[in-house]
Amino acid sequence: MTTTPAPAPVLSGRDINIAAFATRALLERLIDETGVAFADWTALTAVEGAGGAGLARSALVARQSAALQVEAATVEHGIDTLLAQGLVSEDAGTLVLTAAGEAVFRPVQAATQELVADLYRDFPPEDLAITQRTLAEVTRRANLRLAR
């Protein structure tokens, strides 16, 4: 008697969403204490990532709108909120992190790095690289469909 091997598990959008929601919930626990909303936090992260040179407001709006699939006005409102909170400043259309923004950002960044290291600790780097490429391609394909 021969047996048929069980089919290999298939990665689905559900799997990706469950992982995304679980990791987002962990991140939101960290940022909740800052008083910054999740979408605004991603904007703050982008400004911080630009370094001392800052990030053009228009570039941030385009980037966040595309990444979060939201209207530009929503991103503009988030930037205005960060400005009002004193976490970023704007000069000639360029956003930079303020000292207050650094003080809020750094502890959460450190905690996030620890969290990511813990979540990914047992995965071989090759597996993580394949996963990153796969998710980037899924995102690209989904964005192409959204643009139709």
Q: What is the pLDDT of residues 49-85, one digit of tens each?
A: 998 899 999 999 999 999 999 999 999 999 999 999 9
Higher pLDDT, 12 or 106: 106
Q: Picking from 7-16, 19-28, 72-81, which range would have the lowest pLDDT averaged per residue?
A: 7-16
* pLDDT (0 to 100) of residue 7: 75
Give residue 118's pLDDT: 97
137 vs 144: CA distance, rounded Å = 11
pLDDT level of residue 1 (50, 70, 90 thresholds): low
Residue with tokens 């990914």: 120
Mean pLDDT of 2-27: 86
Domains of the chain: 33-146 (1.10.10.10)
Q: What is the pLDDT of residue 87?
A: 97
Task: Supply the pLDDT for residue 3.
Answer: 75
What rounded mean pLDDT belongs to the chain? 93
- Whether pLDDT at 40 is above 70: yes
Identify whether the C-beta of residue 74 lies closer than 8 Å to the C-beta of residue 25: no
The two tokens of residue 13 are 């959008």
pLDDT of residue 50: 93
Confidence of residue 8 (pLDDT cuts 50, 70, 90): low
**Mean pLDDT score, 3-13:** 78
Q: Are 79 and 88 in contact (CB under 8 A)?
A: yes
